[in-house]
Structure 1
Amino acid sequence: MTEKSAHSHHISQQFNADLDDIKTRMLEMGGLVEKQVADATNAFMNLDTGLASDVKQGDNLVNSLEVAIDEECTIILARRHPAASDLRLVLSISKILSDLERMGDEASKVAESAIRLTELGGLPRSVLEIRHIGDHVSGMVRNALDAFARLDIDLALAVAEEDKAVDLEYGTAMRSLVTYMIEDPRTISSVLQVMWALRSLERVGDHARNIAEHVIYLVKGANVRHVDIDEMAATVQE
């Protein structure tokens, strides 16, 4: 039996059903978080306080799902004592849940910055950096979840590589905003909200990379946290 098929076959049909349930629920939670990130970006770009409030409310559901699904993982570990690939699957899901919950927190922070920026009267310039990075990290979240669903380690590696691009975009945007504040100190309060929103979006990208690393661990059994992209690629190609 191949590594991938080991994740979909087990002597106990009920165990299979339990594993399928936590996988499905985690992916549904991931879809919700992806939407939260996209909505938070749109709320910020359009200064839509109604949508921003919806994102903040939605974070409560994300938190509840994380607790409920993680509890299911704990029950499976206690009752089934899974081994090998099954154990890696449950542990990976538990870790991915944590990353998704933190993404939800970051989306909520972006929404909060949108509300505060609206109260400050917005910005006298377009902030396309938010749109670009927001769209970028939303795509990373989607691809990381797809990589998990398909056990696609090549796609997982691509997500990790994308995180480097986001980091570069983030650095460029922050330097531009610092220059803008220096040129017009009256905008400092507003620009700080943009900077905090960008920081939250950059962190979403970090968590998407974490999910990609969990996928590689799940399929290859190798811990690729805290290694550079070259080492990660070598692990994927083994």
Structure 2
Amino acid sequence: MKDDDPFLTPQLLLHAYASGVFPMSEGRDDPDIFWVDPKLRGVFPLDRFHISRSLARRLRRDDYGVSVNADFEGVLRGCADREETWISDVIHDLYLQLHRLGRAHSLEVWMGGELVGGVYGVTLGRAFFGESMFSRRTDASKIALAYLVDRLKLAGFVLFDTQFITPHLASLGAIEIPRADYHRRLEKALLGAADFTAPQLPQSASEVLQRNTQTS
């Protein structure tokens, strides 16, 4: 599918997510995108997010700030700022459009006024489709995920799709489920409604830790 294809729109993207598929590109300069529906899908059970003792200590350090939708494009660029990326210019522009429509959101982590980590994704119904995250400081992406999971729970989301699984995500509680199981969960999640922007930001990390007690 080419970047000048008139059918390549934010609405098509949302329809794809609702159908259980998501877009990728071969590289930053590739004008084509392809659709993915993996046999095994990565998901985060929201009641099983794993906060280790070391992460809990890191969260309690008062040397960072967290925001929501304060710099969506900054997070998008941070996620694409690597040697190999699936976030092409076409995909970059599409997600900016989704953000302007209120369908794509970011959570940012700041240190010393600098954007050092974050995560972004798409929302439909009570499903959050996590797209990518980045970290420029140690544990910044873990901080972002902890605050993200807390927000998703407070807002009433029931499905956190990570698409694929990595050792990093698995260490925090993400699991793989078969395609058919994912599609069943997605169908149920699309029946309800959740508002990513509704919850207030926690006053401190203690609130996040109290609501996410999977510690070890």
Q: Structure 1-normalised TM-score?
A: 0.22
Tell me which structure has the larger Cα radius of gyration.
1
Structure with higher helix content:
1
